[in-house]
Amino acid sequence: MKKNAFYAQSGGVTAVINATAGALILEAKKHKDIGKIYAGKNGILGALNEELIDTSKESISALESLKYRPGGAFGSCRFKLKDLESSEREYKRLIDVFKAHNIGYFFYNGGNDSADTAFKVSQISKKLNYPINCIAIPKTVDNDLVLTDCCPGFGSAAKYIATSTLEASLDVQSMAATSTKVFILEVMGRHAGWMAAASSLARKEKGDAPHIILLPEITFNQKKFLAEVKSVVKKNGYCVVVVSEGLKNNKNRFLSESATKDAFGHAQLGGVAPYIANLITDKLKLKNHWAVSDYLQRSARHIASKTDLEQAMAVGAKAVQYAVDGMNGVMPIIVRGKTKKYSWKIEPAPLAKIANLEKKLPKSFIAKNGMDVTPKAIAYLMPLIQGESFPNFRNGIPEIKELKLKEVKKKLKLWV
């Protein structure tokens, strides 16, 4: 008897997460072992609330167009399932929904917390005697999942950050003689500085912007930083600083930490760019401007990396193949080839070795002064932003096809 599949998106979305979704659904349609392919409305909440979108109601052209659409087409969420030891209620509900809708394949597209969720579901399904093949699919602009060489979503965000750094630096440079001397760009990266490091790709020559890169792996040294800003401005006439949102002080506290926390229990960061800007104003008396790339860096599909897009689609298709082959509790990861010319392939890796772990910038990628990256980092980053895959434009803006998003009829009691 055919089993149905359930796919859900989790956490912060990316410019190419829908490309993964489209590739997965289209691949699943090819397999005789898979019946219906459902998508969760707003991620894992779609399963808990029994809000299942029937993707068979979508046209092939609409599914193919997903590769051009940023955001999360089916809705994402920040919702962390409780530990198995403390509560099985949520997991039992998931299994009840899976049973009611004959779901035998579970695909969870997300980052660290999502990998943990998929791993837990793969375990509880055995305990509750309901076989289901759980595959976690990598996605995060933070690029901090272990084992995989890179994470789908990161390459496109890196391309956007490098491009924005280049364009903004030319703006500042042209006005520096009579106006702004320092520009600060804040990018995502709570514990890992991959996003900030990507700004280095804006450089053509030594001395080009960004002049300073502040990474969460390195404790912020105010005195050292201000001295560097002053030196760069004296030499170039202007200075461009790129800073990770997760920059910390010598007390291991985020410089921009607020009192609120998100659904995953992470401290809500309030903006480190204005903190740095105020510091420059107060201590150096230099005119400056700051910007926070925020959602723009992860949703800029118009400038997506073709390499990133291809990898995002590949992990989606491979996830289906792994599931029908009987794999459970694994993730399709990207493995970089060892040849001089950039190459990659997809291989399965156990979630037990991925969940709740975090990949930070290695020491060999960080410059000795702690405020820049090394040529080794640039060699790693550069292939990930290569190529373009522009969306269709209508009336001057990207064309987005809307989905029908038809939900199936509920069979269980309301989840409260």
Query: What would the pLDDT profile of 123-173 be if each residue is shown by its tens digit?
Result: 888 788 899 999 999 999 999 999 999 999 999 999 999 999 999 999 999
Q: Residue 88: its pLDDT value, please? A: 83
| Residues facing 331 on adjacent strands | 349
Question: Is 154-300 in the same CATH topology as 3-140+302-357+388-398?
Answer: yes
What is the separation of C-alpha 361 from the centre of its chain, rounded to a whole number of angstroms? 16
Would you call 392 helix, strand, or coil by DSSP?
A: coil
| Residues facing 349 on adjacent strands | 331
Burial class (CB in 10 A: 0-12, 13-18, 19+), 223: exposed
Helices 154-175 and 306-324: crossing angle, nearest 10°? 160
Tell me the backbone φ, ψ of residue 35, rounded to 5 degrees. Answer: -90, -110
Q: Which of 142, 144, 149, 372 is the catalytic position?
A: 142
How far, in Å, CA of 120 to CA of 143, rounded? 22
Q: What is the pLDDT of residues 32-56, one digit of tens each?
A: 999 999 999 999 999 999 999 999 9
Q: What is the CA radius of gyration of the chain?
A: 22
The pTM (predicted TM-score) of the whole model is: 0.95
CA 361, 366, 369: angle at the middle one, nearest 5?
145
Q: Residue 259: its pLDDT value, please? A: 44
Q: Is the pLDDT score of 197 beyond 80?
A: yes
Which residue is associated with the tokens 């689609």?
313
Task: Tally the residues of the chain.
Answer: 416
Residue pair 142/189 in contact by the 8 Å Cβ criterion? yes
How far, in Å, CA of 365 to CA of 380, rounded? 9
As a whole number, the mean pLDDT across the chain is 94
Q: Is the pLDDT score of 87 beyond 80?
A: no
Tokens of 201: 């790709």
CATH fold group of domain 3-140+302-357+388-398 = Rossmann fold (3.40.50)
Enumerate the domain spans of the chain.
3-140+302-357+388-398, 154-300
Q: What is the pLDDT of residues 199-257, one digit of tens each?
A: 999 999 999 999 999 999 999 999 999 999 999 999 999 999 999 999 999 999 999 87
Neighbour count for residue 282 (Cβ, 10 Å) = 9
**Which amino acid is residue 233, in one-letter code?**
V
How far, in Å, CA of 251 to CA of 192, rounded? 18
The CATH number given to 154-300 is 3.40.50.460
Strands 257-261 and 239-244: unpaired
Tokens of 171: 């703006």
Nearest by Cα to 254 from 274, 269, 273, 276: 269
Q: Is 116 a catalytic residue?
A: no
Q: Is the pLDDT score of 268 beyond 80?
A: no
How far, in Å, CA of 97 to CA of 103, rounded? 8
Nearest by Cα to 310 from 365, 225, 383: 383
Say what the alpha-carbon torsion angle 20, 112, 70, 311 is, to the nearest 10 degrees.
-40
